[in-house]
């Protein structure tokens, strides 16, 4: 896989297609570029392994590299190296949180922002503190018990229940990818860029001058509620619900997800 080194860290990526627009995909927690293997919209698509994740990820010695501002700085360098034009930035879950933070910091780099099952963080200070404590327990669990035990618990979360209906080979791929992650990196990501640790971005949403698409699975009730609140704040937002899909829409319904990307591109930039 091609690699771009940023401040000593080797970012791996895969590129498919040609021409415009240029799509940049950011995977979720414990994912990799391969999450989007089945997503091939019109134009050039770049699939990135985020800091500390993916099959070739080394252990990140400085855990502070996972903090939002550090990842934003890395992502800006990557975009400048990968393309000379604004990108269609697509983020899923953790990747959606990073994509939103990046768009708020560097809107000039974004032509279209697509947030799949995303959140601007937690507005309430007590909720943030409680989430930080919960993520610290998860981080400790990863390091003490190892990836297999942690993933077996993780995959029982209600937001992944719909994935039990997927073919066994598809579920096995996702499980193997999660188990293969570096536990030190997983723990550091939870501590430094978990939902409780990330900045509260809600107050900044009204200032986001970027066309935004919010994609959710119709079965993911928690994040549907978050999206409805986001729509009240974002000045240029559209929402799309994919029927019979849960939290990981692009993995559960890749054809419909790809169609949404192509349709929104055509509609917003005629």
Length of the chain counted residue by residue: 270
Q: Is residue 164 part of a domain?
A: no
**How confident is the model at residue 177, as a pLDDT?**
94
Domains: count for the chain: 1
Query: Is the pLDDT assigned to residue 233 strictly greater than 90?
Result: yes
pTM of the model: 0.97
User: Which of residues 223 and 268 earns the better pLDDT score?
Assistant: 223
Q: Is residue 43 part of a domain?
A: yes
Q: How many CA atoms lie within 13 A of 237 on its CB side?
A: 21
Q: Is residue 87 part of a domain?
A: yes
Percent of the chain with pLDDT over 90: 92
Query: What's the mean pLDDT in 145-170?
Result: 91
Q: Is residue 242 part of a domain?
A: yes
**How confident is the model at residue 266, as a pLDDT?**
84
User: Which of residues 94 and 165 earns the better pLDDT score?
Assistant: 94
Query: What's the mean pLDDT in 96-123?
Result: 98
Percent of the chain with pLDDT over 70: 99
Q: Is residue 51 part of a domain?
A: yes
**How confident is the model at residue 270, as a pLDDT?**
63
How far apart, in whole angstroms, are the C-alpha atoms of residue 225 and residue 209? 23
How far apart, in whole angstroms, are the C-alpha atoms of residue 253 and residue 92? 14
Query: Is the pLDDT assigned to residue 149 strictly greater than 80?
Result: yes
* 44-48 and 110-116 beta bridge pairing: unpaired
Q: Is residue 117 part of a domain?
A: yes
Q: Is residue 56 part of a domain?
A: yes
How far apart, in whole angstroms, are the C-alpha atoms of residue 151 and residue 148? 5
Which residue, 134, 132, 155, 122, is CA-closest to 30? 155
Please write the tens of the pLDDT for every residue from 4-27: 999 999 999 999 999 999 999 999
Which residues lie closer than 8 Å to 67 by C-beta, 6 or more apart?
A: 192, 193, 197
**How confident is the model at residue 106, as a pLDDT?**
98
Query: Is the pLDDT assigned to residue 133 strictly greater than 80?
Result: yes
Domain of residue 72 covers: 3-122+199-268
Query: Is the pLDDT assigned to residue 116 strictly greater than 70?
Result: yes
SS3 track for 179-234 = HCCCHHHHHHHHHHHCCCCCCCCHHHHHHCCCCEEEEEECCCHHHHHHHHHHHCCC
Q: Is residue 255 part of a domain?
A: yes
DSSP 84: S
The CATH number for 62's domain is 3.40.50.1820
How far apart, in whole angstroms, are the C-alpha atoms of residue 268 and residue 266? 6
How far apart, in whole angstroms, are the C-alpha atoms of residue 186 and residue 52? 8
Which residue, 139, 151, 144, is CA-closest to 196? 139
Q: How many CA atoms lie within 13 A of 270 on its CB side?
A: 1
> Cβ(248)–Cβ(117) under 8 Å?
yes
Please write the tens of the pLDDT for every residue from 175-224: 999 999 999 999 999 999 999 999 999 999 999 999 999 999 999 999 99
> Cβ(192)–Cβ(67) under 8 Å?
yes
Query: Is the pLDDT assigned to residue 268 strictly greater than 90?
Result: no
* Mean per-residue pLDDT over the chain, rounded: 96
């Amino acid at each position: 896989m091609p690699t771009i080194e940023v401040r000593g860290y080797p970012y791996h990526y895969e590129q498919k297609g040609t021409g415009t627009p240029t799509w940049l995909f950011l995977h979720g927690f414990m994912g990799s570029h391969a999450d989007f293997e089945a997503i091939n919209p019109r134009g050039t698509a770049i699939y990135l392994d985020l800091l500390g994740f993916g099959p070739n990820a080394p252990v990140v010695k400085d855990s502070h590299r996972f903090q939002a501002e550090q990842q934003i700085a890395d992502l800006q360098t990557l975009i400048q190296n990968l393309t000379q034009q604004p990108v269609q930035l697509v983020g899923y879950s953790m990747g959606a949180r990073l994509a939103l933070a990046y768009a708020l910091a560097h809107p000039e780099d974004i032509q279209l922002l697509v947030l799949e099952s995303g959140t601007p963080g937690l507005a309430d200070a007590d909720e943030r503190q409680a989430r930080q404590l919960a993520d610290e327990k998860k981080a400790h669990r990863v390091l003490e018990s190892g990836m297999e035990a942690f993933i077996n618990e993780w995959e029982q979360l209600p937001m992944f229940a719909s994935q039990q209906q997927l073919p066994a080979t598809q579920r096995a791929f996702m499980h193997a990818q999660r188990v293969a992650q570096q536990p030190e990196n997983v723990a550091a990501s939870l501590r430094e860029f978990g939902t409780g640790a990330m900045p509260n971005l809600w107050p900044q949403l009204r200032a986001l001058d970027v066309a935004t698409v919010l994609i959710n699975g119709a079965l993911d009730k928690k994040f549907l509620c978050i999206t409805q609140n986001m729509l009240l704040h974002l000045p240029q937002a559209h929402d799309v619900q994919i029927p019979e899909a849960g939290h990981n829409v692009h993995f559960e319904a890749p054809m419909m997800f790809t169609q949404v990307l192509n349709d929104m591109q055509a509609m917003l930039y005629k």
